[in-house]
Amino acid sequence: MLSRCQFSAVVLFSLGLLGAPLAAQLTTPERTKWAQTSSYADVMAFIDSLSHRGALMRVGTLGTSPQGRRIPYVLLARPMVATPAAAKATGKPIYFIQANIHAGEVEGKEAVQMLMRDLTLGKLTPVLDSMIVIFVPIYNTDGNERWAPGETNRARIRTSSSISTRRTAATMATP
Protein backbone atom coordinates (compact mmCIF):
# COMPACT_ATOMS: atom_id res chain seq x y z
CA MET A 1 0.00 0.00 0.00
CA LEU A 2 1.31 3.45 -0.92
CA SER A 3 1.82 6.07 1.75
CA ARG A 4 0.09 9.44 1.37
CA CYS A 5 3.35 11.01 0.14
CA GLN A 6 4.02 8.21 -2.35
CA PHE A 7 0.46 8.36 -3.64
CA SER A 8 0.67 12.15 -4.06
CA ALA A 9 3.93 11.83 -5.99
CA VAL A 10 2.47 9.17 -8.31
CA VAL A 11 -0.62 11.31 -8.97
CA LEU A 12 1.46 14.43 -9.56
CA PHE A 13 3.80 12.61 -11.95
CA SER A 14 0.99 10.85 -13.82
CA LEU A 15 -1.11 13.96 -14.26
CA GLY A 16 1.92 15.87 -15.44
CA LEU A 17 2.46 13.37 -18.23
CA LEU A 18 -1.16 13.50 -19.33
CA GLY A 19 -1.70 17.26 -19.25
CA ALA A 20 -1.47 19.20 -22.52
CA PRO A 21 0.69 22.34 -22.59
CA LEU A 22 -0.90 25.73 -22.75
CA ALA A 23 -0.43 27.01 -26.29
CA ALA A 24 0.72 30.45 -25.19
CA GLN A 25 3.22 29.19 -22.61
CA LEU A 26 5.72 26.86 -24.21
CA THR A 27 9.22 25.96 -23.09
CA THR A 28 12.23 26.30 -25.40
CA PRO A 29 12.16 22.59 -26.37
CA GLU A 30 8.43 22.74 -27.10
CA ARG A 31 8.90 25.85 -29.27
CA THR A 32 11.85 24.31 -31.18
CA LYS A 33 10.34 20.83 -31.69
CA TRP A 34 12.81 19.46 -29.12
CA ALA A 35 15.90 20.70 -31.01
CA GLN A 36 17.11 23.06 -28.24
CA THR A 37 17.18 23.22 -24.49
CA SER A 38 16.56 26.27 -22.31
CA SER A 39 19.33 28.70 -21.47
CA TYR A 40 19.52 30.32 -18.05
CA ALA A 41 17.83 33.43 -19.50
CA ASP A 42 15.08 31.25 -21.00
CA VAL A 43 14.33 29.62 -17.63
CA MET A 44 14.28 32.96 -15.81
CA ALA A 45 12.02 34.48 -18.49
CA PHE A 46 9.71 31.45 -18.28
CA ILE A 47 9.38 31.89 -14.51
CA ASP A 48 8.68 35.63 -14.97
CA SER A 49 6.08 34.89 -17.66
CA LEU A 50 4.22 32.52 -15.34
CA SER A 51 4.07 35.26 -12.73
CA HIS A 52 2.89 37.83 -15.29
CA ARG A 53 0.10 35.46 -16.37
CA GLY A 54 -1.18 35.33 -12.81
CA ALA A 55 0.40 32.14 -11.50
CA LEU A 56 0.13 31.92 -7.72
CA MET A 57 3.76 31.33 -6.79
CA ARG A 58 6.59 32.70 -4.72
CA VAL A 59 9.99 33.07 -6.38
CA GLY A 60 13.18 33.44 -4.39
CA THR A 61 16.91 32.91 -4.56
CA LEU A 62 18.49 29.75 -3.20
CA GLY A 63 21.97 31.22 -3.66
CA THR A 64 24.32 32.80 -6.15
CA SER A 65 26.59 30.86 -8.50
CA PRO A 66 30.35 31.43 -8.66
CA GLN A 67 29.74 33.48 -11.83
CA GLY A 68 27.10 35.61 -10.09
CA ARG A 69 23.89 34.07 -11.45
CA ARG A 70 20.87 33.77 -9.15
CA ILE A 71 19.85 30.18 -8.41
CA PRO A 72 16.06 30.46 -8.34
CA TYR A 73 13.52 28.50 -6.38
CA VAL A 74 9.78 28.53 -7.01
CA LEU A 75 7.28 27.75 -4.26
CA LEU A 76 3.81 26.57 -5.32
CA ALA A 77 1.00 26.23 -2.79
CA ARG A 78 -2.77 26.80 -2.56
CA PRO A 79 -3.28 28.83 -0.50
CA MET A 80 0.17 30.38 -0.65
CA VAL A 81 2.31 30.04 2.49
CA ALA A 82 4.73 32.67 3.73
CA THR A 83 7.06 30.70 5.98
CA PRO A 84 8.33 27.15 6.47
CA ALA A 85 6.32 27.01 9.71
CA ALA A 86 3.15 27.99 7.83
CA ALA A 87 3.86 25.28 5.23
CA LYS A 88 4.32 22.67 7.95
CA ALA A 89 1.15 23.82 9.70
CA THR A 90 -0.93 22.98 6.61
CA GLY A 91 -0.24 19.29 7.18
CA LYS A 92 0.27 18.84 3.43
CA PRO A 93 3.25 16.90 2.09
CA ILE A 94 6.02 19.22 0.91
CA TYR A 95 8.03 18.15 -2.13
CA PHE A 96 11.44 19.57 -3.07
CA ILE A 97 12.31 19.01 -6.73
CA GLN A 98 15.75 20.09 -7.91
CA ALA A 99 16.65 19.96 -11.60
CA ASN A 100 19.68 20.63 -13.78
CA ILE A 101 22.14 19.48 -11.13
CA HIS A 102 24.45 18.35 -13.93
CA ALA A 103 24.03 20.87 -16.72
CA GLY A 104 24.29 18.27 -19.49
CA GLU A 105 21.29 16.45 -18.07
CA VAL A 106 18.65 18.91 -19.21
CA GLU A 107 15.49 16.80 -19.18
CA GLY A 108 14.64 17.63 -15.57
CA LYS A 109 15.03 21.36 -16.17
CA GLU A 110 12.55 21.21 -19.04
CA ALA A 111 10.11 18.89 -17.25
CA VAL A 112 10.09 21.16 -14.19
CA GLN A 113 9.16 24.18 -16.30
CA MET A 114 6.28 22.25 -17.87
CA LEU A 115 5.12 21.00 -14.49
CA MET A 116 5.27 24.50 -12.96
CA ARG A 117 3.17 25.78 -15.86
CA ASP A 118 0.60 23.00 -15.54
CA LEU A 119 0.38 23.33 -11.74
CA THR A 120 -0.09 27.11 -11.81
CA LEU A 121 -2.01 27.83 -15.02
CA GLY A 122 -3.19 24.49 -16.32
CA LYS A 123 -5.37 21.52 -15.47
CA LEU A 124 -3.15 20.47 -12.56
CA THR A 125 -3.86 23.55 -10.42
CA PRO A 126 -6.20 21.61 -8.06
CA VAL A 127 -3.31 19.27 -7.17
CA LEU A 128 -1.84 22.14 -5.11
CA ASP A 129 -4.82 21.89 -2.77
CA SER A 130 -3.25 18.71 -1.38
CA MET A 131 0.50 19.40 -1.52
CA ILE A 132 3.19 22.07 -1.54
CA VAL A 133 5.98 21.96 -4.10
CA ILE A 134 9.33 23.76 -4.09
CA PHE A 135 11.16 23.68 -7.42
CA VAL A 136 14.77 24.57 -8.19
CA PRO A 137 14.51 24.45 -11.99
CA ILE A 138 18.12 25.33 -12.83
CA TYR A 139 20.59 24.50 -10.08
CA ASN A 140 23.80 24.42 -12.15
CA THR A 141 23.33 27.87 -13.64
CA ASP A 142 26.94 28.33 -14.74
CA GLY A 143 27.42 24.90 -16.30
CA ASN A 144 24.14 25.30 -18.19
CA GLU A 145 25.60 28.30 -20.01
CA ARG A 146 28.67 26.45 -21.34
CA TRP A 147 27.03 25.55 -24.65
CA ALA A 148 28.76 23.32 -27.16
CA PRO A 149 27.60 20.80 -29.74
CA GLY A 150 26.69 17.43 -28.26
CA GLU A 151 29.61 15.81 -30.08
CA THR A 152 31.99 18.07 -28.16
CA ASN A 153 30.67 17.61 -24.64
CA ARG A 154 29.06 14.19 -24.68
CA ALA A 155 30.11 12.38 -27.81
CA ARG A 156 28.52 9.07 -26.79
CA ILE A 157 25.14 10.49 -25.80
CA ARG A 158 22.49 11.29 -28.42
CA THR A 159 20.79 14.56 -27.55
CA SER A 160 19.56 17.89 -28.92
CA SER A 161 21.78 20.06 -31.10
CA SER A 162 23.05 22.10 -28.17
CA ILE A 163 24.07 20.70 -24.83
CA SER A 164 26.00 22.10 -21.93
CA THR A 165 28.87 20.59 -20.03
CA ARG A 166 28.69 18.79 -16.73
CA ARG A 167 30.94 21.36 -15.11
CA THR A 168 30.33 24.17 -12.67
CA ALA A 169 32.25 27.41 -12.71
CA ALA A 170 34.64 25.95 -10.14
CA THR A 171 35.79 23.28 -12.61
CA MET A 172 35.60 25.21 -15.88
CA ALA A 173 39.32 24.75 -16.55
CA THR A 174 38.89 20.98 -16.56
CA PRO A 175 39.37 19.63 -20.11
Summarised one tens digit per residue, pLDDT across range 30-60 is 999 999 999 999 999 999 999 999 999 999 9
Domain count within the chain = 1
Neighbours of 81 (CB within 10 A): 18
Q: Determine, yes or no, domain membership for 15.
A: no
Does the pTM exceed 0.85?
no
Show the domain range for 116.
34-171
For residue 78, what is the domain's CATH number? 3.40.630.10
pLDDT in tens, 24-33: 589 999 999 9
Q: How many Å apart are CA 14 and CA 33, to the nearest integer?
A: 23
